[in-house]
Amino acid sequence: MNKPVVLVAEELSEAGLAVLGADFEVRHTDGADRSQLLPALAGVDALIVRSATKVDAEAIAAAPKLRVVARAGVGLDNVDVEAATKAGVMVVNAPTSNITSAAEQTIALILGSARNTAQAHAALKNGEWKRSKYTGVELDEKIVGIVGFGKIGQLVAQRLLPFGVEILAYDPYLPPARAAQLGVKLVGFDELLKKSDFITLHPPKTKETVGLIGDKELHEVKPSVRIINVARGGIIDEAALYAAIKEGRVAGAGLDVYAKEPCTDSPLFELDQVVATPHLGASTHEAQEKAGTQVARSVKLALAGEFVPDA
Ligand code: MLT
């Protein structure tokens, strides 16, 4: 009998592949390349992706045998869940696999942005010893605004509080009592923009959050603010951020995600005030192992017609 086919369209950890084991025919493709992805979908029963593969209505239509799409990570913004559901395709993810890694990457970019670590490192390796140029700021006694206070936002807050910061959180879905329990003050979006010395973004990417930080918002912030985005590209309007930094209305930014990825030639990269990484929030051995094994287990259960519990 033919084995069910699992198409792995992005890198999956060895541990995840081991969970799939010998029960499936595992095929690989480059999901970011549509000309490879669409024909590769023809005979597959399950599709495993990270964030670079667009699983839209066209991709789902190209996979008539598809029974499950598994996202080895948190966000589902690259999967058209409605189109999948209409086609009878189950969508699963690994919602907690990389939240610690994403929170730690956020802390790295906050500190890196505060202390110009990457810029000073690049200059020194280029033979330049520039101490005053790279004078930074302390976190102690600063106000950090966290936009989106879900699992990752909360882990960021826990890790930041020992630095002596005050935390303001904006999240339309969080009860104030829960915020107080976590030692943060729940505020309106405008108050957060006006008061924060650092703003870090952690909402999902939805119609409501695309362009959440745009030109108007960047005219309301303190000129000393540093803005960090380890969530999703597009939540900050990149052109507006570029103008705000150029005009001295924003002191700096730490960016891990971009409106269009891969992104290698953004005007933002020309600015010394910007520290940038290539979507590394979930890129740790630990997170990839968890994401890979969780989605592989879900795919096995789904293809066996069994109940798939929340990971
Ligand atoms: C996620 O949403 O979990 C991450 O962006 C996954 C990834 O790094 O591909």
Q: What is the CATH number of the domain that holds 179?
A: 3.40.50.720
Helix, strand, coil distribution of the chain in percent, nearest 5: 35, 15, 45
**Token digits of residue 91:** 């969508």
Distance 265 CA to ligand 1 centre (A): 21
The count of domains in the chain is: 2
Catalytic residue among 67, 71, 232, 297: 232
For residue 267, give the DSSP letter: G
Residues with CB under 6 A from ligand 1: 50-51, 73-75, 98, 279, 281-282
Kindly state whether residues 27 and 117 are assigned to the same domain: no
Q: Is residue 204 part of a domain?
A: yes
For residue 236, give the DSSP letter: B
Kindly state whether residues 232 and 257 are assigned to the same domain: yes
Kindly state whether residues 85 and 116 are assigned to the same domain: no
Which 3 state secondary structure label does DSSP give 283?
coil
Q: Is residue 266 part of a domain?
A: yes
Q: Which strand (E) or helix (H) includes residue 20? A: helix 14-20
Q: Is residue 83 part of a domain?
A: yes
In the residue annotation, 261 being an active-site residue is answered as yes
For residue 231, give the DSSP letter: S
Q: Which domain holds residue 138?
A: 99-276
Distance 285 CA to ligand 1 centre (A): 13
- Closest atom, ligand 1, to C-alpha of 232: 5
Q: For a pocket test of ligand 1, which of 11, 71, 74, 263 has the largest count of ligand atoms closer than 8 A to its C-beta?
A: 74
Kindly state whether residues 125 and 51 are assigned to the same domain: no
Distance from C-alpha of 176 to C-alpha of 264, rounded to nearest angstrom: 40
Identify the residue whose tokens are 């906050």. Answer: 110
Kindly state whether residues 67 and 141 are assigned to the same domain: no
Nearest to 103 by CA among 74, 64, 131, 139: 74
Q: Is residue 309 part of a domain?
A: no
Q: Is residue 127 part of a domain?
A: yes
Distance from C-alpha of 218 to C-alpha of 263, rounded to nearest angstrom: 22
The pLDDT assigned to 75 comes to 87
Kindly state whether residues 111 and 121 are assigned to the same domain: yes
- Closest atom, ligand 1, to C-alpha of 291: 3
Distance 57 CA to ligand 1 centre (A): 21
In the residue annotation, 247 being an active-site residue is answered as no
Q: Is residue 308 part of a domain?
A: no
Kindly state whether residues 24 and 78 are assigned to the same domain: yes
Kindly state whether residues 23 and 79 are assigned to the same domain: yes
Distance 117 CA to ligand 1 centre (A): 25
Kindly state whether residues 77 and 121 are assigned to the same domain: no
The pLDDT assigned to 310 comes to 76
Please list, in sequence order, all residues whose beta carbon lies within 8 angstroms of the beta carbon of residue 128, skipping any fewer than 6 positions away. none
Distance from C-alpha of 68 to C-alpha of 48, rounded to nearest angstrom: 9
Distance from C-alpha of 309 to C-alpha of 294, rounded to nearest angstrom: 10
Q: Is residue 271 part of a domain?
A: yes
Mean pLDDT by 10 residues, the chain (311 residues): 94 96 95 98 97 97 98 94 97 96 98 98 98 98 98 98 98 92 96 99 96 98 98 98 98 98 97 98 97 97 91 64
Kindly state whether residues 159 and 217 are assigned to the same domain: yes
Distance from C-alpha of 248 to C-alpha of 261, rounded to nearest angstrom: 27
Kindly state whether residues 22 and 167 are assigned to the same domain: no
48 Cα distance to chain centroid: 18
Q: Is residue 310 part of a domain?
A: no
Dihedral sign computed on CA atoms, order 114, 241, 153, 299 = negative
In the residue annotation, 232 being an active-site residue is answered as yes
113 CB neighbour count, 10 Å cutoff: 25
State which amino acid sits at residue 101. Answer: S
- Closest atom, ligand 1, to C-alpha of 50: 9
24-28: which pairs have CB atoms within 8 A and are 24 or more residues apart? 24/303
pTM across the whole model = 0.95
Asked whether the beta carbons of 60 and 83 are under 8 A apart, the reply is yes
Kindly state whether residues 184 and 71 are assigned to the same domain: no
